[in-house]
Amino acid sequence: MDLIDFSQIRSLQDLDLLEKELDSKEVECDLRIKDLLSNRGDLEFQLRSLSKKLSNLKPVEAESQHFAEVIKSTALLAEDVSAKVRLLDKAKNRVSECQQRVNDLLDLQQCSEGVATAMQNEDYEQAAAHVHRFLTMDETLLKHTARDVSEGRTMDASFHRLHDAENQLKKVVAEKFDEAVKDDDLASVERFFKIFPLLNMHDDGLRRFTNYLSSKLKDSSTKNLNEARLTRETDKRANVIFADTLTLLFEGIARIVEIHQPLIETYYGPGKMLSVMEYFQKECDAQSKLIIEEFRKHRDFNKKVQIVSAYLNQRSENKIDAKEVDSVLNELTLLNARTELYARFVRRRVTSDLDISVTDEGEKATKLKNVDRLLKDGETFRVMQILLGQYILLEQYFMAQSVQKAVELDNLIEASSDDTFVVTSVTDDVFFIVKKCIKRSLVSQSVDGVCAVINNACGILESDFADLLLNQLRQGFPSGYLDLAQAYSVLQSSLQHGKIQGSDIEKNRTQFVAYLNNTDVSMEYIASLKNSLDKSITDAFGNNLSPYEKDKITNCLSGLSSVNIRLKSVSEFGFSQLKSSAVKPRVKPWLDAFFHSQRTSYEMEEDEFQDDSESMQTLISNLDAFFKSFKVCLSPTTHGTFVSMAVTEIALQMEKVLLKVKFNRIGGLQYDKELRTLMGYLTSSTTWSVRDKFARLTQIAILLTLEKVSEVADFWGKGPVAWRLTAQEVRQVLAMRTDFRQEDIRRLKL
């Protein structure tokens, strides 16, 4: 408690305050003391029970000390025991090693005795089993042991005998194997083939065995090739006989692998297929080379290639008949297809064998690379790569020659019904040829081959074929009095009578229209060609295409869209020709007549207003006849484009003539009425939007029908009209109204 500083007390008030404070403190103290005292009983009770519990703790301490000692001694014991167990274990191992060695020694004895008997009895399996047992023993260790037990001499003798037996057996088995091969005794061949691995002669066994099988392959292939040589030309397979022979070779290898793979896996273990296929590949290379050489000779192939390549390089004018090339092309694709199939077979076999036998990823990768090399650089495949290159060359020649022939034989195909239209035969023919060639390339199963043929096809379409269309269209559409429909019917009838009487103009017109249609049809054909090829590619390759290869083909196919771009520009060129020679010369006089001769003036009285103006009737019937004459001969798309082009031209020409005419309001209303009639007609005859093409003319009509100049303000800059006329042009149009005052027009704020 703080001491009271009496010096601070100066007055009675202070003293009172202090007293009050002290009083309250006293009360507080009393309360605390009471509180503490009330806890006393509780505390004392707790203290008592605590002292009782303390006395109980003593024995616990003693017991835990005892317990710790027990644990310590147990641990010591355990260590002791485990050391002994370890020793025991070691001892046991030694014992079993000892037993093993005793067993080995006993077996050695037995083997060395058994091997002699087995050899004598020509029981080579038994002998090999003995030697195999012996080969699993650790020779130096055994010798060591034998010395310890002073058994050295007998054992050395056994070893000696067994080594001798091993060598002898190796020699005998090899000899016997060769003998069996010589006698063509398959059972014995297989018998001794199984013995090689017992003598640790895996590689030797495989080599000898595949050699034997290869010789069988050689025999049958030689036989097949001889038969192929003698095949009569009338034989159904004569055209593809060498592809058949090659197929037999590959099938022969596949069959041998099919039959012997289980045998090899059982006796030699998995993981041997790479070596086996490498051995077979040597024979395969030799035989396929012979077959291809014979193919080249028999089909006069090298000469064909030489002529074709000289021709394509423009080094010579010599040609061969495309038909002659056609059949050899089929055989070429088959040859390549079989080789691809065989390569896939080899890859699949070896890869699945490696999958189960090699776990190390690095080793597997190396081995897979060897497979790649085998299938890339093997003579069979190299020979085939050369052949594929020559196939592409010949296919290119075939395609070009056939296209050229199609061009030479090009003739007009008249419309045979209302849904058809005049074209020439060249389009169908060219697309047929291109499709045929690309589809044939698919047979080859070679992605590079397919890509190259697609590239070459695109080249022919984009340059040769498109040039042909362009050149024909460049001849132009001759203008003249006769309507096209007339010209066409004249030509038709003259063709029917077997003589061409029609004038050159008529003929040229039909020709032009036919080529315009050709161009349109070609663009459709490009699209359907692409679709059909997409499907054919999927059908031809199935699941054998990697995403990469698929991508590669797709990228080559996209060359077709550049063909389309080119065709489109050809078509545009054709339309520009048509516009300048057919549309412009026609439309212009009609419009001139409409605005000038038939109607003297658009400054008219009310009673002159015609709901159905005669001059517009004439114009429309002229146009209608004009459009119809083209409708019968143009393809629907071409006709659509034609009408659209004509409509644009009409609008353009009309505006030109219109701007030279004078109007009053009635005249304006008359023009407005006529314009609506014209647009109504045009809308009915085309699928394109006429409104847009006539926007300027419609806006001119709005201006020409105004009552007062000031009304322009209601339309200009507000309302729904998006003006296509400039302010300058608005003034110009308003000035065409003879009833508007120039000052009013000038005063307009636009």
Partner 1 sequence: MEDYRFLFKVVLVGNAGVGKTCLVRRFTQGLFPPGQGATIGVDFMIKTVDINGEKVKLQIWDTAGQERFRSITQSYYRSAHALILVYDVSSQPSFDCLPDWLREIEEYANAKVLRVLVGNKTDREDREIPTYVGEDFAQRNNMYFMETSAKEADNVEKLFMEIAHALIEQAKAREPVPEYKGNPGQSVTLNHRTPSTTSDSCCSRLL
From CA 44, how far away is CA 25, in angstroms rounded? 29
The residue behind tokens 């703080």 is 2
Q: Please check whether residue 183 is in contact with residue 191, taking contact to mean a CB–CB distance below 8 angstroms.
A: no
Q: Please check whether residue 339 is in contact with residue 380, taking contact to mean a CB–CB distance below 8 angstroms.
A: yes
- Of the candidates 99, 197, 198, 108, the one whose C-alpha atom is nearest the C-alpha of residue 160 is 108
Q: Please check whether residue 172 is in contact with residue 126, taking contact to mean a CB–CB distance below 8 angstroms.
A: no
Residue 534 engages partner 1 in binding (rule: CB under 8 A): no
Residues of span 32-51 touching partner 1 by CB under 8 A: none
Stretch that binds partner 1, among 42-50, 133-141, 435-443, 447-455 (CB under 8 A): 447-455
Residue 625 engages partner 1 in binding (rule: CB under 8 A): no
Residues of span 535-554 touching partner 1 by CB under 8 A: 551-552
End-to-end CA distance of the chain: 103
From CA 507, how far away is CA 335, in angstroms rounded? 49
Which amino acid, 648? T
Among 390, 401, 445, 685, binds partner 1 (CB under 8 A): 390
> Measured from the CB atom, is 176 or 566 closer to partner 1?
566
Cβ 371 to partner 1 shortest distance, Å: 12
> Measured from the CB atom, is 152 or 459 closer to partner 1?
459
Among 356, 500, 565, 713, binds partner 1 (CB under 8 A): 565
Among 332, 447, 484, 521, binds partner 1 (CB under 8 A): 447
> Measured from the CB atom, is 161 or 364 closer to partner 1?
364
Task: Count other C-beta atoms under 10 Å from residue 446's C-beta.
Answer: 22
Counting residues that bind partner 1 (by CB under 8 A) gives 37
Residue 325 engages partner 1 in binding (rule: CB under 8 A): no
Q: Please check whether residue 199 is in contact with residue 131, taking contact to mean a CB–CB distance below 8 angstroms.
A: yes
Residue 523 engages partner 1 in binding (rule: CB under 8 A): no
Residue 328 engages partner 1 in binding (rule: CB under 8 A): no
Among 115, 292, 388, 423, binds partner 1 (CB under 8 A): 388
Residue 577 engages partner 1 in binding (rule: CB under 8 A): no
Half-sphere CA count of 519, side-chain side, radius 13 A: 30
From CA 224, how far away is CA 182, in angstroms rounded? 22
Residue 529 engages partner 1 in binding (rule: CB under 8 A): no
Residue 665 is encoded by which pair of tokens?
A: 């309001």
> Measured from the CB atom, is 144 or 382 closer to partner 1?
382
From CA 254, how far away is CA 239, in angstroms rounded? 25
Beta bridge partners of 285: none
What's CA 226's distance to the chain center, in Å? 42
Instruction: Sketch the per residue contact string, 466 through 505, with partner 1: x for CB under 8 A, - otherwise.
Output: -x--------------------------------------
> Measured from the CB atom, is 217 or 274 closer to partner 1?
274
The residue behind tokens 């429909």 is 485
Residue 315 engages partner 1 in binding (rule: CB under 8 A): no
Residues of span 343-372 touching partner 1 by CB under 8 A: 372
Stretch that binds partner 1, among 171-179, 388-396, 478-486, 693-701 (CB under 8 A): 388-396
Residue 41 is encoded by which pair of tokens?
A: 């009983």
Residues of span 392-421 touching partner 1 by CB under 8 A: 392-393, 396
What's CA 123's distance to the chain center, in Å? 60
The three-state secondary structure class of 721 is coil
Residue 733 engages partner 1 in binding (rule: CB under 8 A): no
Residue 71 engages partner 1 in binding (rule: CB under 8 A): no
Q: Give backbone dihedrals phi and psi of 694, rounded to 5 degrees, phi first.
A: -100, 10
The three-state secondary structure class of 73 is helix
Cβ 375 to partner 1 shortest distance, Å: 10
Residue 313 engages partner 1 in binding (rule: CB under 8 A): yes
Contact positions toward partner 1, by CB under 8 A? 313, 372-373, 376, 382, 385-386, 388-390, 392-393, 396, 446-449, 451-453, 455-456, 458-459, 462-463, 467, 551-552, 555, 558-559, 561-562, 565-566, 569
